[in-house]
Amino acid sequence: MSTQKFIVLSICTFGFYELYWCYQNWVRLQSKSTKDISPFWRTFFAPLWNFRLFGSIRDMAVAENVAVSWSAGVLGALYLVLSLLWRLPDPWWWLSFAALLALVPVQQTAQRINRLYVAEGERPENHTYSKTNIVTIVIGSLIVILAVVGTFMPE
């Protein structure tokens, strides 16, 4: 999927789309591995398991000669710390949305890997929004707007 679509859906779902992205990547890694991987539990504990997910995507990129300029450990630590910020009081919990920034370089690297396997004539990235995506964006945007207003309204 395109980076723009990834960011929009992540924000409009309060980060739940990030978990869906993690789950889908774990499913793909499970299909290529002989190890017993539980995508559900690795997604459930994403702030801890993303170190390994990021490392696996980085290793695949290096094996495919795809340029990687990020560290799995640094991005994993950034994601972990930023994910925990939702526990902060108003308005500081909004900083937890920045966890998305740790995922973007990894998502872009996964995109570049996927481009290597696109058959001729196929579109390498999903730029289009489905009806479900549009409904999610509309409803999610309204909720985000209400949350912002509610956060900054006087009691």
pLDDT tens for 52-92 read: 999 999 999 999 999 999 999 999 999 999 999 999 998 99
- In this predicted structure, the answer to whether residue 32 has a pLDDT above a threshold of 90 is no
What mean pLDDT is reported for the chain?
A: 93
For the beta carbon of residue 63, count every other beta carbon within 10 angstroms.
Answer: 9
**Using an 8 Å Cβ cutoff, are 22 and 42 in contact?**
yes
Token couple for 111: 């995109």
Q: Is the peptide bond before 91 cis (omega within 30 degrees of 0)?
A: yes
Domain ranges across the chain? 3-152
pLDDT of residue 121: 67
Straight-line distance from the first to the last Cα atom of the chain, in angstroms, rounded to the nearest whole number: 41
Q: Which of 24-33, 97-106, 110-119 has the lowest mean pLDDT?
A: 110-119
DSSP secondary structure letter of residue 134: H
- Report the pLDDT averaged over residues 15-44: 93
- In this predicted structure, the answer to whether residue 102 has a pLDDT above a threshold of 80 is yes
Token couple for 49: 């398991």
pLDDT of residue 70: 98
- In this predicted structure, the answer to whether residue 146 has a pLDDT above a threshold of 70 is yes
Residue 154 CB-half CA count within 13 A: 0
